[in-house]
Structure 1
Amino acid sequence: VPEGKVVVLNFRFIDLESDNLCRYDFVDVYNGHANGQRIGRFCGTFRPGALVSSSNKMMVQMISDANTAGNGFMAMFSAAEPNERGDRYCGGRLEGPSGSFKTPNWPDRDYPAGVACVWHIVAPENQLIELMFEKFDVERDNYCRYDFVAVFNGGEINDAKRIGRYCGDSPPAPIVSESNELLIQFLSDLSLTADGFIGHYKFRPKKLPTTTVPPITTTPAITAAPPTGTSGLRSKNPNPGRTEKTQTPSSASSGSATSSLMSLKPTVALCQQKCRRTGTLESNYCSSNFVLAGTVITTITRGGSLHATISIINIYKEGNLAIQQAGKNMSAKVIVVCKQCPLLRRGLNYIIMGQVDEDGRGRIMPDSFIMTFKTKSQKLLNALETKQC
C-alpha cells in the first residue's frame, strides 16, 4: 500500500487441509516482505480476525503438499492510517527503557473478537528485557488454540524460540529474555472474548543472572494432542464464568521448604552413585507416572540438576505432566536431578519415563528408564499404551 500507511488483511473464507499443527497445507502472513516477521500461520477452517502490518508492506504465502486439498481461501486487503486504526488494532515496536502493553479496550471492556497484535520490544545490545503481566484474562482452552498470548526470544515468531503460550485467567510467571529482543503475540478468534491483559516491561543489565523463568501453564494441564480437523468447529462454554480460577500448585509452603532442605544430602549422595537404569521398557511402564518420546530442544544447568525442554513426538502415558501446545509442537519440562545421570543431549530423541513433581514437571532420577528413541520402538510403546496397570 502507499508509503505512510499500513496493510489491513481480512480473510473472508478459508478452507485448507485441516491439521492441528498446520504441517501440510497452510497460509503464512508476514510483516513486510521476504525477511519480515511472521504474524501468523493458519489452516483448516479457522478464520483469523484482521491482521495488520507495522509498515506499508505485507506478504501472504500459501504452501500445499501433494495430498489432501481444500477449497482454498479468499482474503481482502486495504490501506489504513497507522494512527487511525481504532480500538481493534494494537502492537508496535517498543524501545523505551520501560513501558506497558495491553489488549484493545483495556480496562473498560472485553477485547474484541478477531484481533492480531505483535509487540516487538528492543533493548540496547548489552541489556535484557524483563516482562511481567499485571492482570490477565484470555479465553480459556486446554490447548490455548483460540485466543492466546505467545512470547518469543528474538524479533520474530519462531517456534524454536518460543518461551510460552498462555491463556486462561492466571498471569504467566515473570519472563526474562535471553537477548536484547522479545516478541509478544496476541491473537483472538471470531467468537468468545474476555477481559484481556495489561503487561509491563523494563530493561536490565546483562551482568545480572540471565536464567529465564520457566513458563507456567496457565490452563489445566494438556493431556493429549487436540483432535485433528477441529479448527473452527468446536463447542465452547457459552457462559465462561470469570470467577472460575485455574488452580496452580503452591510453590512456597513451609512444608515444601522443609522437605527440600531435608532431601538435600540424600540427593548429593544419590548423584555420586553409578548411573544405571533398572528394569525394562515393559517393567517400568506401570511404575512411571508419565511415558513419552521426544526431542531435547533446550537444556539449562541449575545447581547440580539439568532442566530440559522436550519437544514431544508422542505421549503414551501423561499422568500429571503439564504439557504446552504452541503452534507446531507440544512440549514438556523435565528435571534431571543429577545432571549427568542419565545424560540427555540436546537435539537427540529419547523415550523418557519418570515421575511428576507438584509443578507438573517430569522428574528424572539416575535409575529412571531412559533410552534412545528409534522407529522400531513405536510398535512396542503402542502396545504398552493399552496395557492395564
Structure 2
Amino acid sequence: MPSLFDPIQLGTIHAPNRILMAPLTRGRATRDAVPTDIMVDYYTQRASAGLIITEATGISREGLGWPFAPGLWTDEQVEHWKAVTDSVHASGGHIVVQLWHMGRQVHSSVTGVAPVSSSATRTAGQAHTYEGKKDFEVARPLELAEIPRLLADYEHATKNALRAGFDGVQIHGANGYLIDQFLRDNANFRDDIYGGSIENRIRLMREVTERVASVAGAERTSIRLSPNGDSQGVDDSNPVALFTAAAKALDEIGIAFLELREPGPDGTFGRTDVPKVSPAIRQVFSKPLVLNSDYRSVAQAQAAIDSGVADAIAFGRPFISNPDLPERLRTGAPLAEGNPATWYSQGAEGYSDYPALETATA
C-alpha cells in the first residue's frame, strides 16, 4: 500500500504527497469578493501540501452569501487571485479553486437578490451577514429556463480560474449547498427533469461537471460531495443508492479525483451516526478518491489508505494553525492548536501569523 507521504497523480497534477489541504472558508477577501494580500501569504505558507484546494469561491454574486468570501466572476477578482497562484507555484505548490454556489444558504442582505434552490425550502437557523446573524429566508425554486444561465455562470468562473493561473477547479457539491440541495430528497421536491428519481436529482451535478470539464478538461476537474448524514439541513433517505449513482456518473465523465466529506459521530462540523458511503463509492469510482473530515494523525490517515478506500486524505482544520502540516506529520512533531475565535475574523491574526515548526521551535 502507498504511504501518506508518497506522490500521487491527480489528473494533470503530480502531487508530491497525499496530504491535501481541504477547502476552508476564512473570510479574508473584500466586500467585493476580491482576494487580499494576506491571502497570498496564507496560501503560500501552505504550499507543501500535496495539493491546496482553496476556500469556497463564489461563481456569482447570487451564489456567494458568506461575508468577505472571495469570488471569481470579475476581472478584478481574477487579477488578485493571480498573485496567490503565482506565489504558490513559485514555492513549488499546486493549487485548485473550489467553485461555490450556496443556494438557499445565502441571505438577500448580502447578495442583493433572493436565495435560490431546487425547491421552495428554508434552512433552519441563521445566516452570517454583514449585519450579524439573520434568519434564513425561504428560497425560490430555480426555474427550468434559469438552468442554462446557472451553467453559464459555472463556465465563466472556470474560464476565470484558468486565467487566474489555477491548476484546476473543484466543484462544491457538498455541505448542503446548491448542488447538494438538488441531489438529496429532503430538499428537492421538483416534478421536472431535475427532481424525483435519482437519475433526475443527479442531473444538475452531472451537467455542471460536464460544463466545467468542457472548459478546464476532465483531468483538471474534481468535485466534493458529502454523502452520509445531514449537512446543514440537507439529507437523503437512501444515500448509498444516490451517491453511488452520482459517483458512476462522475467516473464516466473522467474527472481527476473525487473528494468526500464524511463526518462521524464525533465530527467537529456536523455529527452523524449514518455509516460512511465511501466503501460503496470506491466500488464504482475508478479515479483517486480523497477522504476528508476530522483526520488529525498519520495513523488515522494511513489506515484509510491501507483500507483501499482512500488514495489521499484532505486535512482541514489542522492546516489552519499548522502551515507546514506535511512536515509535522512526517516527523511526528506536535500540532499547534488554533483559535476558533479568529477563524472568520479580518486580518492576519489567526490566519497568516501561525509559524512553521522551525520558527516556532526557535
Quick check: TM above 0.5? no
The structure where helix makes up a greater share of residues is 2
> In which range does the TM-score fall when normalised by the shorter chain?
under 0.3
- TM-score w.r.t. structure 1 length? 0.25
Tell me: higher relative CO, structure 1 or 2? Use CA pairs within 8 A at least 6 residues apart: 2
Larger CA Rg, structure 1 vs 2: 1
- TM-score w.r.t. structure 2 length? 0.27
